[in-house]
Amino acid sequence: MRDPRPAVQRLLEFCDLEWSEACLDFSRRPASVKTASVWQVREALYQRSSGRADHYARYLEELAADLSDP
């Protein structure tokens, strides 16, 4: 996702929360983080994993079809 703004705005709208530019600048927040992935929280959005799931799409076609059947 090259531009997370539209997705973040939709999410906030769904949660009935107001928009804030800080939502896009989360990696610079001074608040403490107490998770095993603390280094990921402090990292800006990156593209290196974007599209990797596409390699598995052909293996998941049958599953997707089963899940979409009513």
Max Cα-Cα span within the chain: 47
User: Containing domain of residue 47, as a range?
Assistant: 5-68
Give the helix ranges, DSSP H, for 1-70. 5-14, 38-41, 57-68
User: CB–CB of 24/4 below 8 Å?
Assistant: yes
For residue 29, report the phi and psi dihedrals to the nearest 5 degrees. -70, 135
Task: Compute mean pLDDT per 10 residues along the chain, 70 residues long, and list them.
Answer: 84 93 75 65 67 86 84
For residue 38, report the phi and psi dihedrals to the nearest 5 degrees. -55, -35
* Model confidence pTM above 0.85: no
